[in-house]
Amino acid sequence: MIIPTKYENIKENSLIIGCHIITLLKENSLSFLDIHHQLYQFKKIESDYGSLLDTLTFLYLSEIIEINNNLISLKNDSQ
């Protein structure tokens, strides 16, 4: 799912969604539902919860984001 294919909508690719998530988290910490809502409202990305969770898991394992008290934020050293 990470490498785009010609059959996939590029706006819904995990790397593109991850880029948008990082941009949103530069401003402030957000919850999972807030991220989903802002991606839909401002970026017009209609991703399901599963693909969003996969993208957040990738960012977490890459040590780009951290989760504290149900809020997702960028790690201090990645800002």
Domains of the chain from N-terminus onward: 10-78 (1.10.10.10)
What is the value of pTM for the model shown? 0.83
Amino acid identity for residue 4 in this structure = P
User: Which residues touch 70 (CB under 8 Å, ≥6 apart)?
Assistant: 31, 32
Please check whether residue 29 is in contact with residue 65, taking contact to mean a CB–CB distance below 8 angstroms. no
pLDDT in tens, 2-18: 666 778 777 778 888 89
Among the residues of the chain, which ranges form H helices? 14-25, 32-43, 49-61
Q: Stretch 47-69: mean pLDDT, rounded? A: 91
User: Which residues touch 50 (CB under 8 Å, ≥6 apart)?
Assistant: none
